[in-house]
Amino acid sequence: MYNFSAGPAILPQEVFAEASEAVKDFNGIGLSILEISHRSKEFQAVMDEAVALAKELLNVPEGYEVLFLQGGASSQFMMTTMNLLGEGETVAYVDTGTWSAKAIKEAELYGNVNVIASSKEEGYDSIPKGYSVPADAKYVHLTSNNTIFGTQFQSFPDVDVPIVADMSSDIFSRSIDVSKFGIIYAGAQKNMGPSGVTMAIVKKDFVAEPVRKVPTMLNYNTHIGKGSMFNTPPVFPIYVSMLTMRWIKKHGGVDKVDALNTAKADLIYSTLDNSELFYGRAKKEDRSKMNAVFLIKDESLAPAFLEACAAAGCNGVKGHRSVGGFRASIYNAMSIGGVQKLVEVITEFEKANA
């Protein structure tokens, strides 16, 4: 079975195997990972390794802290703005889809939001170009990859203000220059681990003084000061995320993963570009390497195509309800063999129905 679901998503099989053993007996201590104390030396070692691996894999510079939080990326929509945006201050947003629109809605509760660029009128089929960030913006917020519409920032803008980025669906899929960012946040449930934990990479001097009175749990400094263990952390999702980062390191690091992701994306997009029945939804220069969204010219054939996918063991190919069509999510743990299988289905289906 090949899992092309957008999320919760595929993880490496060896991670599943090791995590399942830890549920029964963690490291031979006679207790499950689900029941050990988060204050124990055993879990502290897990947390320390998870932080160290994140810093190593993403080349996080000095002055940043890696946090493991709860509430999903959706809680970061308001937590970032609550900590950073003071009364009368302005923040810039680039609107590229559903998730950036939700982030904008939350930010509007706390300050002036300037949507400096949007691809909404074009159906979010591209990443906006040619915009400038106002000098008075406290920061600019963007969503690096858009799972629903299949677009992705291929590079990040050179701007004079910090970038705050939601990287939930492409974290650890490619190398990034962390020094460009004030905050990077990402829900785990795409490339890193199961749902239930959110990673934030925070520049410490960027959040040193919250601009308003912030509830303790929503203050980044609370979690920096307590090493992500102010309250009981999501132990199992952090453990599985740590295992996944080990797997990335074992397989050559982010650069090697990026090369494989590029090969997988090239394979599926070249197939679509040469098809007379299927076609990609996003503009070519902005296509996502994580979520290939595509449509069929004869929509009456869509149910039969999904049946063909299911028969071949390709699961989760149905597109998001707001877009329709199909979506192949090809996150880090998806093998090139899985993409080849889907390409075979596309090719054979076209031969039978052209």
Q: Which residues carry out catalysis? A: 99, 166, 190
Please give the Cα distance from 224 to 47 (Å, whole number). 13
Taking residue 44's Cβ as centre, other Cβ atoms within 10 Å add up to 14
Nearest Cα to Cα of residue 96 among 59, 46, 148? 148
Q: Which amino acid is at 134?
A: P
Q: Which two tokens stand for residue 36?
A: 């050990």
**Terminal CA-to-CA distance of the chain, rounded, Å?**
27
Please give the Cα distance from 20 to 134 (Å, whole number). 50
Residue 304 CB partners (closer than 8 Å, separation 6+): 349, 353
Please give the Cα distance from 281 to 122 (Å, whole number). 11
Residue tagged 């599926």 (tokens): 268
Residues paired with residue 67 on neighbouring β-strands, in sequence order: 200
Q: Which two tokens stand for residue 149?
A: 């519409």
